[in-house]
Structure 1
Amino acid sequence: MSPVKKMADLRGFNISPMQWLCVQLLFFVVGIKLMVQGSEAGARGSVDALETFHHGYDQKLEVSSARHPRGGWGVRRRFVQGGADIEESYSRTWRSVFRDGAEFGDNTVMVVSLDGTGDYRSVQSAVDQVPDGNTRRVTVYITSGVYEEKVIIPITKPFITLQGEGRNRTVITWNDTADAAGTLMSASVVVKADHFIARDISFKNSAGPPVPTRVNMQAAAFRISGDMAFLYGCNFFGYQDTLYDHEGRHYYYRCLIEGSEDFIFGVARSLFERCWLHSIAEDGRGALVAQGKYYPGSIMGTSGYSFVSCIITGTGRPWLGRAWGQYSTVVYSFCEMDADIIPEGWYDWGLPERARTAYVGQYRCTGRGANTTGRVPWARELTDGEAQPFLSIQFIDGPW
């Protein structure tokens, strides 16, 4: 039995949270020792590079969070509008999924390991074993390593958790592009099922930067089309169209999304909290977001993106967003914009009618990119009342 499997089994005993933490640390140290002694030298080099990169993110995020009037993790915060209290979006309901190890409890745990010490050698093999119509949480525990495979979770397999051993240690990567597979299926990981959870994993598309003279160069690292998904502590690496936030309601917490053009795009309704958006655009090109709300309705309707207490960094002079849809909805709140954002901020896709119907803007953002001088006239500087619907989990009808 693998060390990870033993760790999962131990979780069923009645031990205190502190005792469980000690058990986790023990098995983590043992696992790392075994990995170093094994045959994963190449993979180890890749994940160490990610770990070094992400250390700077953790430090920067903590500094940024301290600058904003939000309080710490798990506290309540007060906004000016009506003096109403709004809970931290990272609610107790969602926090307990990981803090208490609820996914281990009595639920199914399948261990994936490249060296064969787990139940499966590939992530897809484990996913394939989840029965259609599944109604219980199934955790696919993916040990450290670089998994070069395409993973598809079909609509018939809800309640799957992909749990890595560390966002910089467990990596799933593939190299499809829209030219070869179409935009929908270019993603290295495709999730069509509801109630999906991912934690502590990097998702990557290794196709490389797009060629300016070629079309169909979209290459997503991750696509989510299911409803009520929660992604915590994950990395998304790519160039054009990195994160295909396709459909449904999703919550991203402390995630890193990196790309060059439209690297967060789709028609989902999603809340991004304390995430890092990192532009690797060159030659002054690039856009952070392309949101595709095509139908009118309330601000909190069926589609839109809200970024709360996020960090924006990187190269190029990216747009904050491009109005991919007629009613594109994107709001940045309490974000630190350290990137050299193009002064206009937003682009109407060359269709002036979208400037009349899109709902885009920012609220109490800081940094050199947050200067609203020069913004397009249809971009908003939201008031307290206008911003409030975007600041809590109610934006995505949560907690679920």
Structure 2
Amino acid sequence: MNTARVLDAPWLKSGPTARVLSLLNDNGEEARVVGGAVRNALLGILTGDIDIATTALPDEVIRRAKAAGIKSVPTGIAHGTVTLVIEAQPFEVTTLRQDTETFGRKAKVAFGRDWVGDAQRRDFTINALSVGADGVLHDYVGGLPDITARRVRFIGDPNHRIAEDYLRVLRFFRIHAAFGAGEVDRNGYLACIAARAGLATLSAERLRMEMLKLLIADGAVGAITAMADGGLLLPIFGGVAYTGPFATMIAAERLLGLEPNPIRRLAALAVAVTEDARRLASRLRLSNNEAKMLDAMGHRWWRLAGLDEARARRLLYRLGEDSYRNRLMLAWARAGSDSAPAPWRELATLPLRWRAPKFPLKAADFILRGIAEGPVLGHVLTLAEDAWLAADFPLDEASLGCIADQAVGRLNRDGRPSA
């Protein structure tokens, strides 16, 4: 179906987007903004990347850009995509196309001039809308009613769409979590369940990309619960998923006013012990920093149940603010939604009320007490630091002198380690 509805978006009238459309709408060629930018504008959501489809072939797009002094990069030339950069803003410009042979990301395509066919080859109805420079919306697959209903629906036969690329299973839930409302579309849901074995064909990088985006979407709890109920998380994680703690983690983030963090939420969903963290890091090909964060959260989080403030201060000193809060929040999430949030909130906000001092004793303090430089000196410093923490971080000279003397005495009693 087509429609005469007009989109009132300022970026269509002026600025870099209007300039790209003007460049490509000439000499018998046509260009439109397509996909997520149109969807977001209709939903009143901040528009990010703006993708453009055109009847012009890639070589013609490059030629016109060069003539206009616009930088062009052939980022996906085999599939008809050229990136134009205007005022530091990139635009992916893709020639209209149709799949001639489909097998995931390696589909063979042929270029064309058929806007209807180009829309019908996309994944979801709400992603297949296009808008020209005049603001007129074009809807060939029923995307406008689905946007009004906040419904995420595959174009055509869901089974066929998924077989083209199994990543669409994850995209179905991710797009629903971000833009949908209510229950997921039943036909799409059943098709995803039927295709779950196909998830094994996806690379770890693609799984990571979609899952981390899904975990921080506004509707993540409903989407993740639907995936768990449909048996879709086991082939991704290779282990148990805990939807209750996942929901509690999101509630805790909101209570603390924290930005959604995908790794923190992943820990609540799928990490019970550090072995889980290492498995997930491998299966999702997490970055080194992501893997370290997940592993640190999973390390003996269960010891934090019943944590008092004195112990909390020592833990904060040892871990640092971020690691302390993240591990504490995992323990909070595991405690369950029935657990009173007030004590957990009090502990989680400790870094706002108290800053850990630096350990005030130095190597020189022990050299003066007859300890030679070397491994023994490092050992006595460790003994003293442990005692200082147990004494609740005293800073007065008398207490510090006593701690230093006791550490040296203990070292002598226990027998000095060999140098």
Provide the TM-score with structure 2 as the length reference.
0.29
- Greater helix share, 1 or 2? 2
Provide the TM-score with structure 1 as the length reference.
0.30
- Greater strand share, 1 or 2? 1
